[in-house]
């Protein structure tokens, strides 16, 4: 990470804490590694990102419905899905520091360093060798690469490495009062399986016709070997997933469709196009016949935010086999029964949150000649902003607070608002800029005379005078989901 990017990332993390977006979990006990809580503004922003996803996937598609499956599932689910045997990361320990690393990530960091130093041939060579080792599950070869490329432990600085071993990422616990091995249940490592096991229920009760999709937002848990980069890699996180069931043979067409549709969703928020790129998987998961990541350029480089996977009929066929229940679709158009193929879109809500925060964060110098001034503003899309408008009486007297509260009461059934009367108006504007509030409504003495107020726009800082009666319509128009979804 360059110094500027490093500093920017650090500033975003402190801003997230200072303004009630993200706190470390159980901070008063020094925190729990890679687990985070969302604060008063963070939970609003997170809910708005969820709403954007849910509305665009479920509400805007007549053939997609949403569900909310439980986190605990029958343990056989995870045998069938391949997670018990195959949901592993290759890990390696440094014998001196006793620190554990993901072998592939040590190698990826080295590749990034080669690239940064202009050693592109070496980077490509190492990338190919690593891909081959991962593809063939050759753990010895991964270790050999770490030795050969002289990768040292960032903590001890030594190259005293153990062998590379597989490490299962699922958390398990016991269900019920009597604990024996048959009672082991897992905290789901992905939300997808909750959709697959409900395929028949939803298809039948919703009378769904292929092609159709089932969407879900929910928690997932992974015992990540190393957790880093703030909320980028957590042990408890949230996913927004959609499984789209299609006729066998049509999956590549739908894969391309969802690739483009999902990229457009990201760009719809106004993110510069060059910040996104596709990254095709070279090592396909056991269930996939095509897979691509949508990557975003974070301050620490391009990283995955969302995966689009063509999962074939693997999951439904496995559940059919393990449950003994027939999971098939009768397609009246071709007069055939088949196990549907699946295209999955899977986005991490927390990574999307981080992306949104980083993208919106701006430090602005507003100095005018000798008069020094600056502000930090979150240029969030108004639909995503935690607070839609702040209602600010110019002073604490002369009946202005009463007038302001009257306006607040009229508007709050429709919008999340904030009332503030403490400090100068300038300071209050800055506080709202820092949490991304798109509009500040100021009630002054003129308001008492002619029932008008000023609206200050966050990004331009320009103000306009409007009638109080028209306020509801103006704000509703500016924060309407139509602005994002109506194109
Ligand atoms: P990575 O390669 O970064 O570990 P993955 O390929 O294992 O991710 P998927 O299994 O495809 O991820 O999960 C779908 C999405 O869930 C990812 O694109 C990411 O946004 C999110 N995600 C996965 N693991 C985590 C995590 N530990 N913390 C936060 N988000 C995660």
- Ligand 1 pocket, mutate which of 304, 305, 306, 315 (most atoms under 8 A from CB): 304
Ligand 1 interacting residues, C-beta cut-off 6 A: 190, 222, 224, 233-234, 237, 239, 304-307, 346-348, 350-351
- Ligand 1 pocket, mutate which of 101, 170, 188, 237 (most atoms under 8 A from CB): 237
Helices (H), 117-250: 120-135, 139-148, 192-196, 199-205
- Ligand 1 pocket, mutate which of 351, 353, 356 (most atoms under 8 A from CB): 351
Q: Tokens standing for 126?
A: 């190492």
- Ligand 1 pocket, mutate which of 105, 239, 262, 303 (most atoms under 8 A from CB): 239
pLDDT of residue 460: 96
Distance CA 133, CA 141 (A): 6
Coil/strand/helix, residue 189: coil
Give the end-to-end CA distance of the chain in Å, rounded to a whole number.
37
C-beta separation of 389 from 411 below 8 A: yes
* Over residues 298-327, mean pLDDT: 96
pLDDT of residue 179: 63
Prior bond of 211 cis (ω within 30°): yes
* pLDDT tens per residue across span 238-248: 999 999 999 99
pLDDT of residue 370: 87
Residue minimizing CA distance to atom 30 of ligand 1: 348
C-beta separation of 355 from 305 below 8 A: yes
Residue minimizing CA distance to atom 6 of ligand 1: 307
Separation of 222 CA from ligand 1 center, angstroms?
9
C-beta separation of 432 from 458 below 8 A: yes
Q: What number of other Cβ atoms are within 10 A of residue 177's Cβ?
A: 6
Q: Tokens standing for 291?
A: 């897979």
pLDDT of residue 3: 65
Residue minimizing CA distance to atom 21 of ligand 1: 348
Distance CA 125, CA 111 (A): 9
Distance CA 85, CA 90 (A): 14
Separation of 231 CA from ligand 1 center, angstroms?
11
Distance CA 12, CA 354 (A): 9
pLDDT of residue 2: 67
Give the Å distances, CA to CA, from 254 to 25, 193, 277.
Answer: 40, 20, 19
- Ligand 1 pocket, mutate which of 167, 290, 348, 352 (most atoms under 8 A from CB): 348
Distance CA 160, CA 151 (A): 10
What residues contact 110, with CB distance under 8 A and at least 6 apart?
Answer: 126, 149, 151
* pLDDT tens per residue across span 398-420: 999 999 999 999 999 999 999 99
Give the nearest ligand 1 atom to 351 CA: 20
The answer on pLDDT for 180 being more than 70 is no
* pLDDT tens per residue across span 247-282: 999 999 999 999 999 999 999 998 999 999 999 987
Please provide the average confidence, as pLDDT, over all residues in the chain.
Answer: 94
Distance CA 439, CA 387 (A): 9
Separation of 266 CA from ligand 1 center, angstroms?
17
pLDDT of residue 181: 65
Residue minimizing CA distance to atom 13 of ligand 1: 346
C-beta separation of 308 from 295 below 8 A: no
Residue minimizing CA distance to atom 25 of ligand 1: 233
Give the nearest ligand 1 atom to 293 CA: 18
The answer on pLDDT for 165 being more than 80 is yes
Residue minimizing CA distance to atom 26 of ligand 1: 233
Distance CA 101, CA 105 (A): 7
Separation of 431 CA from ligand 1 center, angstroms?
33
Distance CA 431, CA 377 (A): 9
Give the Å distances, CA to CA, from 312 to 156, 196, 210, 248.
Answer: 45, 13, 15, 8
Separation of 75 CA from ligand 1 center, angstroms?
22
Separation of 420 CA from ligand 1 center, angstroms?
39
* pLDDT tens per residue across span 71-128: 999 999 999 999 998 888 899 999 999 998 999 989 999 998 999 899 999 999 999 9
| CA atoms within 13 A of residue 275's CA, in its CB half-sphere | 17
pLDDT of residue 63: 97
Task: Please give the helix or strand (H or E) that residue 361 lies within, else none.
Answer: strand 361-365
pLDDT of residue 286: 75
The full set of domains in the chain, from first to last, is 3-71+187-357 (3.30.930.10), 96-161 (no CATH), 371-485 (3.40.50.800)
C-beta separation of 266 from 294 below 8 A: yes
Separation of 348 CA from ligand 1 center, angstroms?
6
* Over residues 349-359, mean pLDDT: 97
The answer on pLDDT for 386 being more than 70 is yes
Distance CA 8, CA 31 (A): 23
pLDDT of residue 486: 82
Residue minimizing CA distance to atom 2 of ligand 1: 304
* Over residues 429-448, mean pLDDT: 97
Q: How does DSSP assign 91-124, residue by residue?
A: EEEBTTT--EEEHHHHHHHHHHHHHHTT-HHHHH
Question: For the whole model, what pTM was predicted?
Answer: 0.90
pLDDT of residue 86: 84
- Ligand 1 pocket, mutate which of 190, 315, 346 (most atoms under 8 A from CB): 346
Give the Å distances, CA to CA, from 471 to 414, 440, 442.
Answer: 12, 11, 12
Residue 241's nearest CA partner among 315, 348, 340, 354 is 348
* pLDDT tens per residue across span 15-58: 999 999 999 999 999 999 999 999 999 999 999 999 999 999 99
Separation of 457 CA from ligand 1 center, angstroms?
36
C-beta separation of 463 from 443 below 8 A: no
Q: What number of other Cβ atoms are within 10 A of residue 192's Cβ?
A: 25
What residues contact 112, with CB distance under 8 A and at least 6 apart?
Answer: 123, 301
Residue minimizing CA distance to atom 11 of ligand 1: 307
pLDDT of residue 395: 94
Distance CA 66, CA 471 (A): 34
Give the nearest ligand 1 atom to 235 CA: 27
Question: In terms of pLDDT, which residue wins out, 3 or 334?
Answer: 334
């Amino acid at each position: 990470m360059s110094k500027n990017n490093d500093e920017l990332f650090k500033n975003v993390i402190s801003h997230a804490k200072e303004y009630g977006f993200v706190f470390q979990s159980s901070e008063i006990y020094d925190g729990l590694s890679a687990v985070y809580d969302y604060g008063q503004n963070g939970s609003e922003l997170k809910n708005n990102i969820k709403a954007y996803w849910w509305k665009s996937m479920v509400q805007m598609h007549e053939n997609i419905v949403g569900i909310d499956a439980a986190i605990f599932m029958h343990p056989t689910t995870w045998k069938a899905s391949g997670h018990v045997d195959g949901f592993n990361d290759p890990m390696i320990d440094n014998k001196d520091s006793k620190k554990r690393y993901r072998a592939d990530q040590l190698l990826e960091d080295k590749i990034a360093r080669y690239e940064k130093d202009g050693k592109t041939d070496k980077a490509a060579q190492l990338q190919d060798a690593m891909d081959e080792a991962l593809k063939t599950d050759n753990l010895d070869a991964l270790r050999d690469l770490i030795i050969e490329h002289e990768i040292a432990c960032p903590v001890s600085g030594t190259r005293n490495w153990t062998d590379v071993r597989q490490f299962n990422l699922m958390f398990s616990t016991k269900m019920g009062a009597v604990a024996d091995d048959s009672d082991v249940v897992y905290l789901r490592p992905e939300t997808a399986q909750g959709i697959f096991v409900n395929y028949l229920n939803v298809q039948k009760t919703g009378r769904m016709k292929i092609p159709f999709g089932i969407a879900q937002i929910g928690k997932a848990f992974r015992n990540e070997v190393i957790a880093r980069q703030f909320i980028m890699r957590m042990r408890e996180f949230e996913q927004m997933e959609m499984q789209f069931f299609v006729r066998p043979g049509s999956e590549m067409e739908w894969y391309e469709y969802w690739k483009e549709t999902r990229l457009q969703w990201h760009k719809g928020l106004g993110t510069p196009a060059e910040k996104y790129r596709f990254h095709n998987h070279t090592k396909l998961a056991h269930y996939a016949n095509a897979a691509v990541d949508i990557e975003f350029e974070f301050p620490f480089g391009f990283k995955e935010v969302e995966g689009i996977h063509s999962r074939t009929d693997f999951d439904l066929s496995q559940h059919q086999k393990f449950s003994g229940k027939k999971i098939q679709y009768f397609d009246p158009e071709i007069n055939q029964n088949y196990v549907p193929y699946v295209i999955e879109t899977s986005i991490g809500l927390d990574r999307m949150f981080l992306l949104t925060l980083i993208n919106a964060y701006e430090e602005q110098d507003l100095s005018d000649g000798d008069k020094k001034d600056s502000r930090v503003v979150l240029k969030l899309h108004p639909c995503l902003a935690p607070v839609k408008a702040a209602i600010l009486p110019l002073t604490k007297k002369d009946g202005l607070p009463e007038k302001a509260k009257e306006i607040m009461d009229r508007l709050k059934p429709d919008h999340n608002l904030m009332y503030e009367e403490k400090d100068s108006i300038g300071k209050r504007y800055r506080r709202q800029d820092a949490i991304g509030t798109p509009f500040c409504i100021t009630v002054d003495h003129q308001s008492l005379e002619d029932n008008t107020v000023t609206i200050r726009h966050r990004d331009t800082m320009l103000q306009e005078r409007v009638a109080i009666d028209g306020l509801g319509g103006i704000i509703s128009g500016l924060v309407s989901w139509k602005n994002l979804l109506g194109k």
